[in-house]
Amino acid sequence: MGCSSSLNNQNDQPPVIIQQPTSHQKEPVLVQNTDVKQKPLNVNLNLEKRPLQETISFQAANEEKARLQAANEEKARLQAANEEKARLQAANEEKARLQAANEEKARLQAANEEKARLQAANEEKARLQAANEEKARLQAANEEKARLQAANEEKARLQAANEEKARLQAANEEKARLQAANEEKARLQAANEEKARLQAANEEKARLQAANEEKARLQAANEEKEIEEDINKQTTILLTQEQQSVTLCVWSVFIKNILISELLQILIL
C-alpha cells in the first residue's frame, strides 16, 4: 500500500537528497545535502541545488516502486493462501471419499455376514426339520412294529379278544394321529415364531442402519460448519490487519509531512 507526501515550495532552501533504505530500513529517508557550503546567516545563500520538482518526482517514483513491491507481495501472499485453501479442500474431498468407501466396505461386509448368518440359520432349520421328520418316521415305524407284535401275540393268545384288540388298536392309532397332528401344529407355530423373530431382527437392523446414516450426515454437516467458521475467523483477522496497516500508513505520512515542514523552516532560517 503506497503512501505519498508533498512539499511546500520554498525559495532559497538547501537541496534535499532521498537516501535509499538500508537493510534495516523500510522506507527512503530524506537527508540534507552536507556537501553544500553554507554562508553566514546575514548573507544570501547561493547554493548549487537540484530543482525541487525533480526531487519530488524522484521521491514519488520511489514511493510508487515501494507501493508496487508491496502490492506484488500481497498478491503472492493471496495466491499462496488460495493454493493452500485449494489443497485443504482437495484433502477434505479425498478424506470424504475414503470415508464413504470405508463405510460402503463396512456395509457390504455387514451384509455378507448377515447373509451368512441367515444361510446358517436356514441350514440349521432344515437340519432340525429333517431330524424331526426322521424321528417321526422312526416313531411311526416303532409304533407299527409294536402294534404288529402285540397283534400277533394277542392273536395267538386270545382269538376271541381280537375284536377288542382291534378297537383298542384303532383308539391308539387315533391317539397317535392326534399326537402327531399336535406335534406338527407345534412345529409350525415354532417355525412361525422364528420367522417373526427374524423379521423383527431385520427391521431393527434397518432402523439402526438408518440411524447410523443420519448420524454420519449430521457429523459431516457439523464438520463443514466448523470449516466455514474457521474461514470466517481467518478473513476477519486479515481485514483487521489490513485496517491497522492503513492507519499506520496515514499516520506515517502525516508525521513525515510535519517533519519535512519543520526541517525546511529550520533550513530557511
Q: Report the domain count for the chain.
A: 1
The answer as to whether 147 is a domain residue is yes
What are the 10-residue block averages of pLDDT along the chain, 269 residues in total? Answer: 43 45 48 44 45 75 92 93 94 94 93 94 94 94 92 78 81 94 94 93 93 90 85 80 79 80 76
Q: Which three cell numbers stand for residue 58?
A: 524522484
Q: Is residue 70 one of the residues assigned to a domain?
A: yes
Return the pLDDT at 37. 43
pLDDT at res. 50: 54
**Domain-embedded: residue 261:** no
* Predicted pLDDT of residue 33: 45
In a domain, 172, yes or no: yes
H/E run at residue 210: helix 162-268
The whole-angstrom separation of Cα 85 and Cα 194 is 56
Say what the pLDDT of residue 32 is: 44
264 lies in a domain?
no
Q: Give me the pLDDT at residue 4, please.
A: 44
Strand partners, 19: 29
At 52 the pLDDT is 65
- CA–CA separation, 229 and 214 (whole Å): 23
Q: Is residue 83 part of a domain?
A: yes
| DSSP-assigned letter for residue 34 | T
- Structure-block grid coordinates of residue 37: 557550503
Domain region containing 121: 16-37+47-255
Is residue 54 assigned to a domain? yes
Q: What is the pLDDT of residue 51?
A: 60
Q: In the prediction, which pLDDT does 22 show?
A: 52
Distance CA 229, CA 238 (A): 14
Residue 61 lies in a domain: yes
